[in-house]
Amino acid sequence: MARGYHLIGLQPGMGEWLRVDGRDAVLDSCRTRVFAPTEAESGERLLAGLDEVLDEGSWQAEPLVVVLPASEISFRRLEFPFGEPRKVLQALPFTLENELLGDLDELAYDHQIVQRPDGSAQVFVYLVPRALVAGITQRCQERGLPLLRITFSAYVLQLSRPAESPWHYQLYCGPDETFISFVHGGHLHTVKSLPVNLGQTFGGGLEPGDTSPAALGALLSAGGEPLQERLHAQLTGLCRTVNTFVRTHAMGRDCTLSLHGLFASALTWDAESASLAPAAPGQPLAQEHLCGVLEETLEQPQLLVAPRQINFFTGGAGLMSRMAQLKGPLIAMAVLLLLFVGLLGTDFYLRTARLNARLSQLDTQIRSRLARLVPGQPTPTTGLRMLQERVTREREEQQAAARFLNYHYDTLRLLEGLSLGMKEFPDLTLDSLTVTADRISLAGTTPSYNASESFKNRLDEFIKLPVKQPKISHQRTGQNIRFLISLERGAP
């Protein structure tokens, strides 16, 4: 791995970056920038902010780590009766499909496995939009920056600041990002992004050229009591949300909470009552360098480039790059194995080339003799090719007929049955129907759980196809309930 590398932290309205030389962060290169306000979607705002950071910074062709905000991350906790990593990796996509309402192909994900003594496992899965990962990858490739990892802020905080107790909560309060995470057993169990933007308290006084904590503190002092009271009111609402979160997850257990970020000094945690409260107005801002979560990594920045971490960038390294990470005798063994395979491949190629040359020579001699004995007739090779083409055409026609009988005709019966069955459920709206060779999925909305459950229980009357027991999942969205029904083809 190269000696130096770059770190970029992205937030909805702010970006920060620094270069690390070996084990030491070059503090003079720590920069932050406030992005121009925009009404674009969150993913598009982050990509536009990454463009601004890459255009402004001075970049060398060194590995790059990009840290996304916790608001872009979704989280799933899964249970498996087995704990072997290979089996978990094989079963993980199918289990996630039943947990998600959307398409798994639109998400990039990574996971952590916690094995239990009885052989089962608990798996924590972190997901992020695949379009965001693809946009970051494309921008790094266009600028010739080798992308090493795409991770997220809550994981970086947990990695840089180990938990203080078995039940530990980490609250991060920055000017543009606020989240709370639950850490247990050395693993990140839960992350909740809080819809609190403390940077808006400054009322647009942030300038792209000077966004240091000292400048924010000066703005806070210049604003006087009205600005400090407005900040205190926001922190009071934040404390109510955090206290509810801790009580819900701790359930009476002894727990600890650590405060991080630019506004950590404006909050106080009472360990005896396990409650958070805002400090008295007028507290100075404590941090000195960056405004985002990268501030927490300045003591040990090499943690973000260590192997075996959460990483949404699936491009991976090439064979030689992976071999360079091996140590000691493993390098020699890998090199010897590579040379041995190369020699075998070269010998096989030479033998095959000589055999093909001899076969070509014999084929030419046979063609010339047959042309003299039977002039004007097709050669055996031509006749064989014509016969093979005819067999291929007949096989394709048979396959097309079988597909219609076994799949398309079934689809027509399915649509006919559903159209008749939906008339009995006027409160149920079907938004999408996905039919594949081995699965049928129906998604829609309804104001009542009973309507979707009744519809699921009567599907065998409407579909009239050999399917297994249907599975249904619900998610409340506003006043309605979104449902997803999945059926596997086969014997019921």
- Do 301 and 442 lie in one domain? The reply is no
Structural domain boundaries, residue 55:
4-324
What parts of the chain have a pLDDT lower than 50? 1-2, 209, 316-328
What residue type is assigned to position 373 of the chain?
L
482 falls within a domain? yes
State the CATH number of the domain containing residue 462.
Answer: 3.30.1360.100
CB-CB contact of 151 with 310 (8 Å) = yes
Q: What pLDDT, on a 0 to 100 scale, did the predictor assign at position 133?
A: 93
State the CATH number of the domain containing residue 134.
Answer: 3.30.420.380
Kindly state the tokens that stand for 140: 């790094």
State the total domains in the chain: 2
- pTM, rounded to two decimals: 0.62
- Do 54 and 192 lie in one domain? The reply is yes
Helix (H) or strand (E) holding 139: helix 130-142
- Do 434 and 319 lie in one domain? The reply is no
105 falls within a domain? yes
Report how far Cα 289 is from the mean position of its chain's Cα atoms: 29
- Do 28 and 146 lie in one domain? The reply is yes
**Distance in angstroms (rounded) separating the CA atoms of residues 86 and 446:** 39
- Do 63 and 206 lie in one domain? The reply is yes
Out of 291, 324, 357, a domain closes at: 324
**Distance in angstroms (rounded) separating the CA atoms of residues 472 and 82:** 24
370 falls within a domain? no
**Distance in angstroms (rounded) separating the CA atoms of residues 129 and 71:** 11
Out of 287, 304, 324, a domain closes at: 324
Q: What pLDDT, on a 0 to 100 scale, did the predictor assign at position 13?
A: 81
What backbone torsions phi and psi does residue 435 show, to the nearest 5 degrees? -120, 120
Q: CB within 8 A of 465, min separation 6: which ones?
A: 410, 413, 414, 440, 489
Q: What pLDDT, on a 0 to 100 scale, did the predictor assign at position 379?
A: 59
170 falls within a domain? yes
Report how far Cα 265 is from the mean position of its chain's Cα atoms: 32
331 falls within a domain? no
What backbone torsions phi and psi does residue 262 show, to the nearest 5 degrees? -60, -35
91 falls within a domain? yes
